[in-house]
Amino acid sequence: MFNKSKILGSVAGLGLLFGTASSVATAQIPAEMPAHSSEQTSQFRRIEQPLALKVGVTLGGLGLIGLELWWFLFSKNKAIKASSGQGIQELTINVDGGYEPSRVIVKSGQPVRLNFFRRDPSSCLEKVLLPDFHIAQDLALNHITPIEFTPSKPGQYQFTCGMNMFRGVVEVQ
């Protein structure tokens, strides 16, 4: 069940954890240094660590923060063009912890068939709504549910789960 995106997701998640921890650590060092270097009576004892280690941990944390940002801002926003054949534009959307791809590009004036493949058992994703096309469709688990409509005007049309928590966009050109 481990796919590439899930592994990347957990790596990015760890990145947030370590990234936050190390930025908190670096933020505290300047504040604590004067107090602790002058008085040794404090119940905490300073442990000297090599500068290289500190720099390494900081850079590692920053790198993971970068990965995290990239993951949330860009990796899921990849737009996929529907492939057209026999007068219909078709595309499969995986429904697993959200929609993948969450941004699809189609042409105006031609029928569209979006094949929603629901792998996620959570009830949150059991329904998909395309309000602009007056569609509310139940998705059977582990099945592909085709949804068809014909966009007549270019624009951005949202599709969401039943509670509007997960979103995707159909971009009509």
Residues that bind Cu ion (CB under 5 A): 124, 161, 163, 165
Task: Report the C-alpha gap between 145 and 147 in whole angstroms.
Answer: 7
Q: Which of 10/122 has CB closer to Cu ion?
A: 122
Q: Which of 104/161 has CB closer to Cu ion?
A: 161
Q: Which of 165, 91, 72, 93 is nearest to 122 (CA)?
A: 165
Q: How far is the CB of 173 from Cu ion (least distance, A)?
A: 28
Q: How far is the CB of 18 from Cu ion (least distance, A)?
A: 30
Q: What is the DSSP string of 115-148?
A: EEEE---SGGGSEEEEGGGTEEEE--TTEEEEEE
Q: Which of 106/161 has CB closer to Cu ion?
A: 161
Cβ distance 115 to 92 under 8 Å?
yes
Q: How far is the CB of 138 from Cu ion (least distance, A)?
A: 13
Q: How far is the CB of 41 from Cu ion (least distance, A)?
A: 56
Does residue 131 have a cis peptide bond before it, meaning omega lies within 30 degrees of 0?
A: no
Q: Which of 11/163 has CB closer to Cu ion?
A: 163
